[in-house]
Amino acid sequence: MNMNLLLAGFGGQGILFTGKVVAYSGMLDGDEVSWLPSYGPEMRGGTANCSVCVSDSPIGSPLVTAPDVLIAMNLPSLQKFENAVVPGGLIIVDSSIVDEKVKRKDIRTIYLPATRLAADNGLKGMANMVMTGRLYKETKFCSEEKFIEGVTKSIPAKKADLLEKNMAAIKIGMESGE
């Protein structure tokens, strides 16, 4: 198993949290992991991206410049990182926000209306976890048991009441069609 993941969107969309969940889950599953956040100076509303590596062998660099998987939660992120995805890679696009199509034909693309799905199910602000559920469905980056444990451990104690909503959002992403 070797997955180089780039998550990108606006600050406040939960990009860094999503990356943390993936990295934590992989670590709990016994893999080597790295998590490298990057965000603009304005944070909420500015740009945010996160490099995550999950591997069964040592990781040379935490910076993902050629992702196997890109999660694009806004148009500027898709435009900036689409060409960096390796041939045969995967792009998951929040089609509620991004109305452009991926131009490349040598990668697989999933258009998931994550923001709308979250809002329609009373989970406003949890589009990132809908995307995480779909990411898990497509890549199985760890065991399901460790994924659930990773989500649970990634939520701070003061927000423990959000675990159920996070799990509901993940389930929506896992059960969504294309």
Query: Each residue of 111-157: pLDDT tens digit?
Result: 999 999 999 999 999 999 999 999 999 999 999 999 999 999 999 99
Q: What is the pTM of this model?
A: 0.93
Residues 6+ apart with CB under 8 A from 95: 111, 112, 113, 114
48: DSSP letter:
E
CATH number for the domain spanning 57: value is 3.40.920.10
- Reduce the DSSP state of residue 100 to 3 states and report it: coil
Q: Which domain holds residue 97?
A: 2-175
79-88 residue pLDDT tens = 999 999 999 9
**The total number of structural domains that make up the chain:** 1
